[in-house]
Structure 1
Amino acid sequence: MKTRRQYKTYTSEFKTEALALISEQGYSVQEAASALNVTTSLLYSWKQKAEEHANSTVNSDERSELLTLRKEVKQLRMEKEILKKASAFFAKEMK
């Protein structure tokens, strides 16, 4: 029987401190990763997300509304596809 891999989760405070090692204390990504016992790719990922968030002109309220709207759009597209398939099915049945 296969077991699911358990991924370690990190708090936002830990991520902030890890990025501070790089940006404020002059550690290289490799040095910080070794010191914190995480992979360099994970640190690069956190760094990229932090930079995207810093460059974003959207505040937290707008961000949450955007996520809600994207979820709604996804739901509506799925419903539209279902209706298309249903109408095609019934059109075929009527012939």
Structure 2
Amino acid sequence: MSSTGNRYSNEFKQQIVELFQSGQSVSKLSREYGIPTGTIYKWTKELTPVITEDGKTVTPKEVKALEKRIRELEMENEILKKATAIFARKP
């Protein structure tokens, strides 16, 4: 089920995560498919969606991207605050 090297398709990863979520143990999946247990836990974390307070479903990847965007906007905000303070000074 794996492609070249240790790369797995997204479909395969999703299948393993679904098997885990349906009750199969990580150790059994690891033995059966030859995948390290840590990899299965990582896939589960990456592929399990998060449900927000308003009921929207967001993937952990999307959450990470949104957190990055928030950090960028916070930095821009700080720069603008400093620029405003500089321009507000009277010569």
TM-score normalised by L of structure 2:
0.49
Larger radius of gyration: 1
Q: Which has the higher strand share?
A: 2
Q: TM-score, normalised by structure 1?
A: 0.48
